[in-house]
Amino acid sequence: MTWRDEYRSKLTTAERVARLVESGDHVVLPGCGAAPWSFLNALVARSDELAGVRICHASLWGDLPHLRPELHDRIVYKSFSLVTPNARALIDEGRAEFVPVGLADLPRLMLRGHLPVDVAVLSLTPPDEHGYCSYGSYVAYMKAAAESAKVRIAEINDQMPRTHGDTLVHVSEIEHLLEVSYPLTPIPPPKPPTETERQIGHHVADLVDDGSTLQLGRGGIPDAVLSYLRDKRDLGIHTEMFSDGVVDLVERGVITGGRKTLHPGKLVAGFLDGSERLYDFVRDNPMVEMRRSEYVNDPAVIGQNDNLVAINAALEIDLTGQINTESFATRLFAGVGGQLDFALGSQVGRNGRYVVALPSTASGGRVSRITAQFAAGTAVTIPRTLTHYVVTEHGIADLRGKTLAERAQALIAIAHPDFREELERSARERRDVFF
């Protein structure tokens, strides 16, 4: 039997594959714009027959049918690593679950059986002439999910961009196939960077030398950073994800990967999150290599990139250098992602730099993001031992090799002026630690 015969024999419908899911199953999906909509809608349509099904994925955009409140106890959302706005309220109310795990470890937990995968639902391209489909925009943890699953289902989407790298899977490795055709869900349109974000972006850009390899995400601060890199030369990309802003710098000749020490000339990522323009750019583009998260986010792999600059955001930082990217006290807001992976990896490589960038205040200027100490229950995402550069609109603090007192002084110097006196007073009250 040829692969084409096998392909045809495995074609089915969304309604039929939805019936493969049993009560109590863990069903793993890709994130960002790669949602398998036909499967999701068919599964929700038969939710009255189910109980305790976990739908497991990281960030996922769009009007997700499995997040509807009336489905609780029948279909429960289990969030991996990252939390998006459409899931925060559910987690707050106890109607969704969260697994705090970094992107390097997430696939390993699946492969080792610590995170169960009963059903893996893939979003793939149509097969090539040899019967190989591509994972397209979202490799990340999905290869590990497919290798761990008892049942593998794939939506074959002719609008998924075929990408290069570690992206291939043969039709013989998947039990059930359904053909679909719809565009990838775009991210919500980004807001233009604020003046504060532009000031931060300008400071961060000063830490990026020609020939640096970048890790950065999306949002106001990363977009502002990218806008200040237009005069740089031969930048590279090794990152868990990238978005449209990277395309601008490739087209300007700023990002070439020409000086990368690992995968020279290649943009390396685990997943993509952007607009149709981004997906058109990566389509069959040999410059882009999509790879598994346990590779992209492995600190030992990250450290093979000389001159890596890892640029990340945070919710707050205390005066010792502890970083919180996840919660407001006990209330979950964002998640873990790959920041710890890159904080570690940047310490391994030659001339690596780990940069945390954040506005100095929140809540309209009423709250300082640089704080004497965290509220009870706050998550510490990055230990102070790994904190390197901290950037606000008021400047840059380099915490490498500094004592606790020196760290406090450096961080107070880049705090908002309205809060510096209060922070100094709090530091003096802890004379045994700071002064």
Interval 277-312: pLDDT, tens: 999 999 999 999 999 999 999 999 999 999 999 999
The tokens of 69 are what? 């409140």
- Residue-level pLDDT at 433: 61
Closest CA to 125 of 174, 80, 79: 174
Sequence ranges of the chain with CATH classification 3.40.1080.10: 3-180
Q: For residues 59 and 84, is the Cβ–Cβ distance under 8 A?
A: yes
Q: Does domain 195-429 have CATH number 3.40.1080.20?
A: yes
- Residue-level pLDDT at 336: 87
Q: For residues 308 and 302, is the Cβ–Cβ distance under 8 A?
A: yes
Sequence ranges of the chain with CATH classification 3.40.1080.20: 195-429
Q: For residues 131 and 3, is the Cβ–Cβ distance under 8 A?
A: yes
Q: What's the predicted TM-score (pTM) here?
A: 0.96
Q: Is 145 helix (H, G, I), strand (E, B) or coil?
A: helix
pLDDT(188) > 90? no
Confidence of residue 94 (pLDDT cuts 50, 70, 90): confident
Architecture of domain 3-180: 3-Layer(aba) Sandwich (3.40)
- Tell me how far apart the 2 most distant CA atoms of the chain are, in Å: 77
- Residue-level pLDDT at 189: 74
Residue of higher predicted confidence among 191 and 229: 229
- Residue-level pLDDT at 190: 76
pLDDT(435) > 60? no
pLDDT in tens, 106-119: 999 999 999 999 99
pLDDT(330) > 70? yes
- Residue-level pLDDT at 431: 66
pLDDT(236) > 80? yes
Q: For residues 173 and 6, is the Cβ–Cβ distance under 8 A?
A: no
Supply φ then ψ for residue 320, to 5 degrees.
Answer: -95, -10
pLDDT in tens, 121-173: 999 999 999 999 999 999 999 999 999 999 999 999 999 999 999 999 999 99
- Residue-level pLDDT at 172: 98
pLDDT in tens, 120-135: 999 999 999 999 999 9
* Rounded Cα–Cα distance for residues 312 and 301 (Å): 18
* Rounded Cα–Cα distance for residues 156 and 136 (Å): 11
Is 240 among the catalytic positions?
Answer: yes
The tokens of 189 are what? 């349109």
- Residue-level pLDDT at 246: 96
- Residue-level pLDDT at 14: 98
Residue of higher predicted confidence among 342 and 331: 342
As a whole-number percent, the residues of the chain with pLDDT over 70 amount to 99
Other beta carbons within 10 Å of 145: 28
Catalytic residue among 93, 195, 197, 240: 240
Read out DSSP for 235-299? BEEEEEEE-HHHHHHHHTTSB--TT-SSSTT-EEEEEE-S-HHHHHHHTT-TTEEE-BHHHHT-H
